[in-house]
Structures are given as C-alpha cells and as structure tokens.
C-alpha cells in the first residue's frame, strides 16, 4: 500500500554561479599589492644628499670654496715644483692653505705625507685636504670629529666634498 505521506527533507542548495569568485580574486589582488608594496618599502636605499655641501654652514661653505681653489693651485704648483714641495711647512709658508676666520696657518695638521687636517674652532667639524702624488686633490668633511685620523686611508666615513669622486 502506498502512502500519500512522504518524508521529504528539503535542503536549499545555493547554485555555484561564481558570485564569491570576484570577492576572492579581489582579496588575492589586494594581498599581492600589499606584499609588493611592503617589499618595495623594505628594500629602499637610504636617501642621500645629492649635494653634500648643502648641510654646511656659511663659514664651512666659504672654506670649502677656498679649499677647492687652493687644491687646484697646489696641483698646478706640484707640476712645476715637484711632489717634494707638498709639505705642510711649504704650503703654510706660501699661504696656500686657507683657514677659518680667527685661525692661523698653524691650525693645519699633517696626517701623513700629502694629507692635511683642519679642525673648525668651537665645533667638532673638520676638513681634510688630500694632495697625494699622481691623484687628483680630494677634500673631505666630517661634521663630528671624534678622533683625528692617522692616515688618509681612514677617511671612508668622511663626506667627499669635491667633484672628483
């Protein structure tokens, strides 16, 4: 005998028509963009000054200009007189090395042959003028001189201020 009564459980099944697909694709694209942006941000090189002299005060800029001129004059004189004239006594005697206002030529110190240091008074800043034979003159600056260098090879942390880099 057939019963007219049936026990049916009706379960509503949502059709898989891709409605959520665009949500997951959008979420995936946003995650990729976020990770890419974080990767670019984390690998950025530190910003360096394009012009190192921009951080100098007026007296330091003036001395840098005078040092540049003096380096050219000394390089010219080296060609005429020879490398043996690149001694601190000779350069100060001829007044070729500039000084800060209020300093005299004795403020210059010889670090090594052809390498001279001038510390700024009332400040920790210092300049080094490197005049080694067969190389172009080089001018270095450090805003915080902690210890005087013993050779010109110890200037890796100093800012190179001339254009012969």
Q: Is 128 exposed, middle or buried (0-12, 13-18, 19+ CB in 10 A)?
A: buried
pLDDT (0 to 100) of residue 83: 64
Question: Are the CB atoms for 147 and 163 separated by under 8 Å?
Answer: no
Give the ranges where 13-84 is alpha helix by DSSP (H).
21-42, 58-81
Q: Which residues contact 63 (CB under 8 A, 6 or more apart)?
A: 98, 99, 100, 118, 120, 127
pLDDT (0 to 100) of residue 80: 74
pLDDT (0 to 100) of residue 1: 46
pLDDT (0 to 100) of residue 31: 97
Per-residue pLDDT of the chain (165 residues; tens, 9 = 90+): 455 566 788 888 777 777 778 888 899 999 999 999 999 999 888 766 567 677 788 888 888 888 888 888 888 877 776 766 677 777 777 777 777 777 776 778 888 888 888 887 777 788 888 887 777 888 888 888 778 888 888 888 888 887 655
């Amino acid at each position: 005998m057939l019963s007219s009564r049936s026990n049916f459980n009706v379960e509503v099944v949502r059709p898989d028509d891709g409605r959520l697909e665009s949500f997951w694709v959008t979420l995936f694209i946003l995650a990729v963009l976020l990770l890419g942006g974080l990767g670019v941000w984390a690998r950025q090189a530190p910003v360096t000054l394009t012009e190192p002299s921009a951080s100098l005060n007026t007296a330091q800029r003036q001395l840098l200009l005078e040092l540049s001129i003096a380096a050219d004059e000394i390089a010219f004189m080296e060609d005429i007189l020879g490398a043996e004239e690149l001694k601190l006594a000779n350069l100060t005697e001829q007044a070729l090395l500039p000084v800060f206002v209020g300093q005299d030529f004795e403020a210059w110190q010889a670090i090594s042959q052809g390498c001279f240091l001038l510390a700024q008074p009332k400040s920790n800043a210092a300049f080094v003028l490197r005049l080694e034979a067969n190389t172009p003159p080089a001018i270095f600056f450090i805003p915080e001189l902690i210890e005087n260098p013993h050779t010109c090879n110890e200037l890796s942390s100093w800012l190179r201020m001339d254009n012969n880099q």
